[in-house]
Amino acid sequence: MLFGSWAARQIGRAGHMPTDIDILIVGDADRNAVDLAAERVEQRLRVQSRRPSRP
């Protein structure tokens, strides 16, 4: 699920250009697959993510 200021700009809400993308992952997800997907998004959108450290 995308939310936050980046998602708001994508649907036309006014505001400053965000410098991050907020993503919520619900349920069981393979952490490696999530990391790889995040890397692809970073490259495609030219943004850098901050991922929580692994336990």
Residue 22 lies in a domain: yes
User: In this model, does residue 34 exceed pLDDT 80?
Assistant: yes
Residue 12 confidence (pLDDT): 93
Single pTM value for the model: 0.59
Q: Quote the radius of gyration of the chain (alpha carbons, Å).
A: 12
User: In this model, does residue 47 exceed pLDDT 80?
Assistant: no
Which pair of structure tokens corresponds to residue 5? 């200021």
Residue 51 lies in a domain: no
Number of domains in the chain: 1
Selection from 54, 3, 4 nearest residue 30 by Cα: 54
Selection from 6, 4, 15, 19 nearest residue 50 by Cα: 19
Residue 52 lies in a domain: no
Structural domain of 14 = 2-45
